[in-house]
Every structure is written in C-alpha cells, then in structure tokens.
Amino acid sequence: MTPTQKLHDLGQSIWLDNITRDLLDSGTLKRYIDELSVTGLTSNPTIFERALEHSAAYDDAIHLGVAAGRTDETLFFDLAIDDLRRAADLFRPVHQQTNGVDGWVSLEVSPLLAYDTASTLKAATDIFARADRPNLHIKIPGTPQGLPAIEEATFAGVPVNVTLLFSREQYLAAADAWLRGVERRIEAGLDPDVRSVASIFISRWDVAVGKRVPGDMKNQLGIAIAQRAYAAARIVQASPRWQRAQNAGARPQRVLWASTGTKDPTASDTLYVKALAAPYTVNTIPEKTLLAFGDHGQLGAPMAIDGGDAEPVIARYTQAGIDVHALANKLQQDGAQSFVRSWKAMLARMSQKTNAAGNAT
C-alpha cells in the first residue's frame, strides 16, 4: 500500500496545491487521483501566473478572448474557471461517493476587493454560478475584513474555503463567521448544508522564526500552532452550538492544512505531511511534496485531539522572545499583501499575453 493510500485510509483528504492546463491535458492530474489518492485541489494566482509564463497551453484561448474583447481579469476568470470545471469533473465521483465531504476544487475572488464586503459577496456568488459545479469552494481570506463576507457568502449558499488563517484565534473567528451564516440559513428555513474548509497556514511560521531561535527549535512552531488549532476545532465540533446546527442538517467545517511544503532544505521533505495527519482534515500539498510523500513518506501517530504537546512547545518560543499572537497577526497581514502582489503579477503576465495576442492578429 502506498504512503498516500495509508494517509487517505487514516481519514485525511489529500488535495493537490496546484492546477494548470498542462496537468489536465497531459492526464497527470488523473494519474495523481488514481495512483496517489488525491481527492481535491486548491489554486492560487501565483500558480496561474507561472503557468502563463512557462506554458503555451493557454495561448489559443487567450487569442480567442482578445478577439472577443475580454479584459485581462475577465479573461483570467474565463481560463481559470474552465480549468477548475475540468478538475471538478474529475473529482465529481469522490464528491458523490462522500456525499459532498470530499472532491472539492477552489478558486479565489480578487484580493483587491478585500475591504469591500458587498463586492466580495457579489464576486463569490458570480464565480460560483459561472462555474456551475457543486464541488467548487470560493476562497475568501479570514482576515478581519473578510469575516463579514464569509458569513454573507455562507448565508447565500456559497461554499467557502477560508484562507490565510495562522492561529487558533483566527481559526475561531473564521469558524464563528461561517457558523453565523449557517445559523441564519436555519432561521430562514434554508438548507444549512453549506460546506466549508478553514485553511491554516503552517510552514510560514517556521520560516518567520527560523533565524531567531536555536537550532534545536527549528521547524517545530508551525506544527505546534496546527496542534493548538486542531484541538480548538474539535472543541467547536463538540459544542452545543454546533450540535444544534448539525441537528438541523448542517455539516462540519473541516480544517485544511495549507503551506505544507518544507522550506528548510535541512529538514525532511515530508515533515508537515507526516506531522499533520488527522481524520476529517485536509492537507493541500504542493506537487513536489506530494511526489516525495508518495515515494518515501511515513505515517506517525495521528494528531492528538487535545493538542498534544502544543502548549509546552509554544511556551518555549514565548520564552525565546517570540510573541506568537503578534506574529500570527503579522503573518496574516503579510499574507494578504502577498495575495495582492501575486494577483497583480498574474494580471501583468496576462496583460503581456493579451498584448502579444493582439499584436499577432
């Protein structure tokens, strides 16, 4: 049995943190589904921008879009939605087999709308409707500005992948926003089964503190933060508030581990995959890390539902001068700014492609 199959059998969903037209056209994504137990995927503008730079797979569609007068951002969504529809169709069997628990793909709204709840909601509902696939999550950042949009999108029946969560506190705020949307649907007599995942970013913690702590403390903080958040999620799922919503027909918001590629070249290339194994969670894994785990990955014990040794580990970092709460906020703010930079870089690359297409006609 492959390591990825063992991880799947433990109860964790393996999603690919990548989507390109080449992956689809070559049959590689289908092979990952068949051979590496991949049951979903996530996307982001950086992945798309790199695909535009290094592949000609989109050139014909861009030419057609330019001829039809499509703008750069509109054309991006045309191309991205086409890719994600194809991927969603590949995952549709597992989506149906798991009654909607698994088999999801994700696409984000423009981060330029981050401070505008109404525009974010409109973009989320429009993208979901255009894609016309039941297994599409719309990614909305779990920043303070994004929380109202998460609630409103959930109330509107749009499945949300809450991104940019870096701590237990940020996770709890996002879970509360999602659950408020669910509860409002119950009060309105609407179906409360609006699926969601809460994406907690891991490796950026260890990158942020790597040069500030002794060698024996490297590559431990991200895992401890994940353990703390996982314990909080289990408490949420056992709470009377949640159980009332579940009794009305809602399904739990799953925790998703993001940023799980190892950044430290001296550490195991499957460090975070091994450490973050837990039932009813998702790990969205970069392609390189997925292949490494499929080749030589090993499973340890599943994550402890009470957080294990998270608190003593975090206390060591506090004693070393790391303000974990302040760093979580900084990582979220930096992540939001990085999303904007990535979005603008993607649009700039798209502009280069559309200009070239226009000059060629």
The set of catalytic residues is 139
CA 199/CA 165 separation, integer angstroms: 6
Six-digit token string for 317: 């970092």
CA 258/CA 177 separation, integer angstroms: 20
What is the number of other CB atoms lying within 10 angstroms of the CB of residue 112? 16
What DSSP line would sit under 150-176, residue for residue? HHHHHHTT--EEEEEE-SHHHHHHHHH
Query: Taking phi first (over 0 means left), then psi (-120 to 50 degrees means alpha), and beta for anything else, what does residue 116 get?
Result: beta
Which residue, among 199, 203, 202, 195, has the nearest Cα to 171 in the 3D structure? 199
238's CB contacts (< 8 A; 6+ apart) are: none
**CA pseudo-torsion sign 263, 268, 270, 275:** negative
